[in-house]
Amino acid sequence: MKRFKLVVAYDGTNYCGWQIQPNGITIEEVLNKTLSDFLKEEIHIIGASRTDSGVHSFGNVAVFDSETTIPAEKLCFALNPQLPEDIRIVSSAQVADDFHPRYCDTRKTYEYHIQNGKIPLPTERLYSHLVIFPLDVEAMQEAGQYLVGTHDFKSFCASKTQAQTTVRTVTGIEVETHSLSEGEYPSQKVIIRVTGEGFLYNMVRIISGTLIKVGLGVYPPEHVKEILAACDRSKAGETVPAKGLFLKKIEYL
């Protein structure tokens, strides 16, 4: 028996998140069935990040155990034709038998994508949150720096969390822009990139909603310090829609 690691990219639009659940199809369910059918043995993968319904990924990580003799690095090429087009194995490798994707020290990077413009672009409708009023990206970048470090992020956590502690370490926040369209009503993509050692439920989406309020001039950048200190979810911005959130990468330290 060998343990294999997969790096998985997916479009989360048509899935009820990563983790198997009774109310709809999930990424984990599709991978389990595809691997079991292809390898002719019962496979149950273990995922590193249980992304929510509608969230996308460039690089979630999963492991599974198998007796297969297919070379580890070739598994991705063998599996991808068996998968639906909105799920792809980016890479595959053999790892130590005791490697667990959730119990190792990691650094995760998420991105939140915003289309900032008056006209909704069809190509962005499934992958970006539309904000029609101009965003002050410099103010958003300044505000984000108040969240870098080890803090109690209770203000930026959904109330139904089961986490034992709301203290987390954010190692970096960046806000950048890319042009999407020109003309009378130009549009740009604003990307909020958050890197940290661990995240609370909806934490990145609430951080993004708060930075959007800063970008719109509702809050001055320094107000984020007060929101953080309040440890009160009601003080922060809205939880923005899942469709703009991407799990960019997971680094094992």
Which residues make beta-bridge pairs with 98?
none
200: closest CA among 239, 227, 142? 239
Q: Which phi and psi (to 5°) does residue 188 adopt?
A: -130, 155
- Identify whether 152 is a catalytic site residue: no
10 is in an annotated binding site: no
Which residues make beta-bridge pairs with 6?
62, 92
Q: Which phi and psi (to 5°) does residue 10 adopt?
A: -155, 155
Which is catalytic among the residues 11, 37, 52, 136? 52
In b/e form, how buried is each residue of 50-67, taking b as 16+ CB within 10 angstroms?
ebbbbbbbebbbbbbebe
Quickly count: other Cβ atoms within 10 Å of residue 182's Cβ. 9
> Do 248 and 110 meet the contact criterion of CB atoms below 8 Å apart?
yes
CA distances from 43 to 15, 28, 46, 65, 81 (A): 20, 11, 10, 7, 18
Could you give the CA distance from residue 51 to residue 198 in angstroms, rounded to a whole number? 13
Please enumerate, by residue number, every residue annotated as part of a binding site: 110
User: Where in the sequence numbering do the catalytic residues fall?
Assistant: 52
Please enumerate, by residue number, every residue annotated as part of a binding site for substrate: 110
